Structure 1
């Protein structure tokens, strides 16, 4: 019986792990200035701007970030994100909580990073 329980614990996913589907949805940036849709796009994950409040920094509806992420042992996702508009690739980490995300994008060998909080939009 102990062997069965141990095997089941190793095989069944832990509740601490989020699935890639946890990223899927519509999200509002914590400053209220952007709404994005995150969804699968091929074998990657795309975040597409649906609405931008302040377009002075060059963001526009329809802009897309293509993310190649893999799940980490702590349940977060990490990898890269490609911004076609700027022809730039960033290191990306996404932490998933109940109804919220925190994204961390970095450039220059992870020397310059920015964290952004997101809330799920119903």
Structure 2
């Protein structure tokens, strides 16, 4: 039972990690800043600068049974890749975990992929922009 609880916690953390991120690059930041709703409709995040990084903060959760809470935050450090792709890392201070992250972002939609364990445990999420900042 303990392994199931830990696995559920890790999967919840992965869900949180694939909440959109941002980069040090102003053009990449500006594409991500704003409010985003996850494709399953259960999470809304606000993406904004936080110090020298960019943070994604949960502002609304429909069902908290997956371990996600309002106020949970990811601290992003991404670089602009080719085309519309951003890649780098996201740190989850609540769980003390760092994830590899890739985001393909457009003006109205994004797809993110967060991975743990050397890329062996990954999850994708789609996002819809609610508003820009």
Q: Confirm or deny a common fold (TM above 0.5).
A: yes
Structure 1 or 2: more helix by fraction: 2
CA distance in structure 2 between the aligned counterparts of 1:57 and 1:27, rounded to whole angstroms: 19
Residue equivalent to 2:80: 71
The question of 1:90 aligning with 2:112 is answered no
Higher Rg: 1
Helix, strand or coil at the partner of 1:61: coil
Higher relative CO (Cα under 8 Å, sequence separation at least 6) belongs to 2
How high is the TM-score relative to the length of structure 1? 0.81
How high is the TM-score relative to the length of structure 2? 0.75
CA distance in structure 2 between the aligned counterparts of 1:70 and 1:98, rounded to whole angstroms: 18
CA distance in structure 2 between the aligned counterparts of 1:95 and 1:36, rounded to whole angstroms: 17
Following superposition, the deviation at residue 101 of structure 1 comes to 1.2
- 4+ runs deviating over 4 angstroms: none
Following superposition, the deviation at residue 50 of structure 1 comes to 0.1
C-alpha RMSD of the superposition: 1.1
CA distance in structure 2 between the aligned counterparts of 1:31 and 1:103, rounded to whole angstroms: 13
CA distance in structure 2 between the aligned counterparts of 1:73 and 1:20, rounded to whole angstroms: 15
**Count of residues in correspondence between the two structures:** 105
1:26 to 35, 40, 52: 35
The question of 1:109 aligning with 2:124 is answered no
Residue equivalent to 2:4: none
Following superposition, the deviation at residue 74 of structure 1 comes to 2.6
